[in-house]
Amino acid sequence: MKYLIVGLGNVGSEYENTRHNIGFDVVHAFVQKHGGGFKLERLAYVASLKWKGKNLVCICPTTFMNLSGSAVKYWMDKEKIGIEKTLIIVDELALPLSKMRLKSSGSDGGHNGLKSIASILETKSYPRLRFGIGNHYPKGRQADFVLSKWKKDEEKLVKYKIDKAIELIESFISCGIEQTMNEVNNKEYSI
Residues with a known catalytic role: 20
The rounded distance, in Å, linking the Cα atoms of 119 and 107 is: 11
Contact 149, 111 (CB under 8 A): no
Task: Measure the CA–CA gap between 70 and 88, rounded to whole angstroms.
Answer: 13
Rounded CA gap, 89 and 24, in Å? 8
39-41: strand order across its sheet: 39-41, 44-51, 54-61, 2-7, 86-92, 128-132, 100-103
Rounded-to-integer distance, Cα 91 and Cα 47, Å: 21
